[in-house]
A and B are shown apart, each in its own frame.
Chain A
Amino acid sequence: MTGTWALIRLIVRRDRVLLPVWIAITALLPAGIASATADLYADQAARDSFATASASNPAQLAMRGPIYDASVGGLTAWTLGSSLALIGGLVSILLVIRHTRVEEETGRRELLSSGVIGRHAPLAGALAVVLAANLLLGLLSVPALVANGLPAGSSLLFGLSAATGGWVFAAVAAVTAQLTAASGTARELAIGVGGLLFALRALADAGGIGWLAWLSPFGWVRLTKPYAGDQWWVLGLVAVFVAVLAAAAFALSTRRDVAGGLVPARPGPAAGTLTGPFGLAARLHRDTLAGFAIGFGLMGALLGVAARGLDTQLDTPQFRELAATIGGADARISDVFFTFVMYVLSQLVAGAALVSALGARGEEAAGRAELLLSTPVGRLRWALSHLVFAIVSPVLLLGALGAAAGLAYDGDVARVTVATLAYLPAVWTVVGIATLMFGMLPRLAAALSWTMLGLFLAVDLLAEFKLATGIILDLSPFVHVPALLLGGASSSAALLGLTVMAVALATVGLAFLRRRDLMPSA
């Protein structure tokens, strides 16, 4: 364990932006939801009718589980219990793999281990930071909940439940990181385990097989029942589970070589069939794209099912008023819901498209572009081979999202799909800006592109609370997409304008690329 403290400081230093942002956002979320719930369902009668409707909606049961108590606190715990475990779990998995297996894969661990760093220090350091961060965000959420008038004891239990959600998956990732030499596989394994455990809990609550929920961490974070009887001892169960997994990870790590895995890497083909940059790019983007497509498809299907129950569940005077101001007097509540959700999800799709759009820069930074561009492959052809996937990816993802949502809602695939595909030009604009950055400021391209997407999200958030209007709002391309489901003018002018802008941005970016030096990061 020698050197663990030094490694903890290294990890905190490397993630000095990511950690505080993650902790701050997730710590603030519960109080926000609590106050929104208190506003939206002002009296006990409204909350009871909401709870009754939710209990009869299988999609809500699958996503969030049963409501244990129809108080403001109980509804807050119901809204966020699963989501916080999902967010905390995902971030924890990514962080643990990043500071263990990725370090070994890149050879940095070897460099450190030759110094005075104990065999267990890297895993111990990564786990310490991630567990502490989860605990911190759980504790930090408590004061704001109490300030919203919720009982202190239950709020503390709720905060700790949220923290343990992240703990479980940090421990799962610690185990998968020992199994294979490839960090990507370790990541996918851990996320896959998370998906299975989530599905297990969903099946338990939606299928009325309550005891199954006791087999999943996603069940445990709800079964502590904060604001609904406070079953503190369930936390002990989680702690034991985490301790056992962590011990297993440490034991496994002594049975393998540094940079090696317990599962040996399988050999691949001795001869290749790739004939050029487009074939190569297809190989590089294929798996990620397929994963995103399945993910967005499933999300769409869940939303479609959830929307079925919405017309009765959200039939409160407050929500009807909201729907009317957004969609006009005769708007269907489910259409308002779809419109709102698609608007948010289109920005997630933009995130997926950014991954593809920055693919070429990643190749350049890693030095692989240098090898490929020393062959007769020209720069433009190489850049386009990646860009084409950034263009196609949102078509596929928005299409999967809309089609699955439409199919699951009322079988009318075309109506919802057309409405989601309307976001294509906005997503392409994001891709265009990333390509411009890639051409002009390659070293900053990734940071600037993601910051820009974050700013667009912030603009929308400000708009939602009516804090941004006019020109600031106009800066986000997503604002200009007409809401087709709500009879928004299907004027092609805005969509055409965005598309033209996207093409222009990308063209300028590619022109800069042809003129500049290649810049590997080393």
Chain B
Amino acid sequence: MSATTETPPAQAVRRETTPTPLSAAERARLERAFTAPRTRFLIGIPVAILLLLWSFNGAEFNFAKLGQGTVNMGEFLSRLFPPDFGKFGTIAALLVETFQMAIVGTVLGAVLSLFVAFAAASNIAPKWLYYPARWVMNVIRSVPDLVFALMFVSAVGLGPFAGILAMTLGSLGSIGKIFAEAMESVDRGPITAMQAVGASKRQVIQYGVLPQAAPLLVSYTLLLFEGNVRGATILGLVGAGGIGLELTTAMRMYDYGHLSAIIICIIVLVTAIDQGSALIRKRIT
């Protein structure tokens, strides 16, 4: 916190800047009731439409095919009924495991994210730390969680531990940057005040930054938790624990009643968690 890093006050700079007046044409344009759209707007719209059409084409979007397929879809859905809760015990145990994985993955991910966010917040970290931290988070974010899961399964073997590790790393990618931005968005006043009482760097962060960012940090962590519960159901696909493996097995065995029971249980769990976390988030912000 050397004196030279302080930004000059706005008023000191402002004094010397003489305002440049608007040109007569610009003034007339602002005062007209109706104005012709600007060139950038006229060019932008067709470009956006072309991009959209190009994407529809590339993604093989086809209404006719969707119409034909509706019958098959209905058939698939009808096979899901009635749900078979015969193995509810297994489902419940696996859901609990999924839930536990999400809790551990979220807590580890959030703690890790918090530390990386200190390094990636421009108002806290020095430049030499800021850029590498941002870069690492960008790399992690662009790797799909399933890839991490495969990597950890091969490292620590099948089971929820691999899933937790994948989720922790995935969490860092998804909320590290958001945490950093929450810290950057705090009011500078309390930071200045803490520097002015002679507080250390740690104290400036502890008192000037964290209390202000806390509601956002908690809120994002809860959102992350919701996402991780949903994500944990996928990780099982590669054998990284949770209910995912049971889900895939049921699909492969054409055990539709069981599959349907699993899906219903997942929906209930995810909805309950989403509602609960929404309630908490509402109270803290």
Q: Do A and B bind each other?
A: no
A interface with B by C-beta (< 8 Å):
none
